[in-house]
């Protein structure tokens, strides 16, 4: 089995920061890419940020300059540092992995981020 587990969500005031973590475990040979998606109430799930095994990153326009995605060195993990949070960042954040041989479509259960005063 392949499992992705997110952590780090919570309640934060506008302008605050959170760091999300995701760890992948199981029968994984290697990871092509990992990313963070989010889904706000009444909205479609959208890509927030992604990072390839080579370190190339991609960000949604709405989070550029505020969020930073990074990969762990010794573990199959990915992080999302979120700064200057806005109420519109409120959503359930999901970790995604595109795995070598196994393909994409692997998701965590999500972690809730609420930005509110």
Cα–Cα dist 93/38, whole Å: 4
Cα–Cα dist 38/15, whole Å: 19
CB-based contacts of 75, cutoff 8 Å, min separation 6: 23
What average pLDDT does the segment 42-65 reach? 96
Q: pLDDT tens across 59-104, in order?
A: 999 999 999 999 987 668 999 999 999 999 999 999 999 999 898 8
Q: pLDDT tens across 6-36, in order?
A: 999 999 999 999 999 999 999 888 899 999 9
Burial 34-49 (b: 16+ CB within 10 A, else e): bbbbbeeeeeeeeebb
Q: Are strands 103-107 and 91-99 parallel, antiparallel or unpaired?
A: antiparallel
Burial 69-102 (b: 16+ CB within 10 A, else e): bebeeeebbbbbebeebeeebbbbbbbbbbbeeb
Q: Are strands 111-115 and 10-12 parallel, antiparallel or unpaired?
A: parallel
């Amino acid at each position: 089995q392949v499992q992705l587990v997110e952590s780090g969500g919570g309640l934060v005031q506008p302008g605050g920061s959170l760091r999300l973590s995701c760890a992948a475990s199981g029968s994984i040979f290697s990871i092509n890419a990992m990313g963070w998606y989010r889904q706000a109430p009444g909205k479609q799930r959208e890509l927030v940020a992604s990072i390839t095994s080579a370190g190339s990153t991609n960000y949604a326009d709405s989070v550029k300059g505020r969020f930073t995605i990074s990969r762990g060195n010794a573990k199959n993990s990915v992080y999302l540092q979120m700064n200057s949070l806005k109420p519109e960042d409120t959503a359930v954040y999901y970790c995604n992995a595109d795995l070598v041989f196994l393909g994409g479509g692997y998701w965590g259960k999500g972690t809730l981020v609420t930005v509110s005063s």
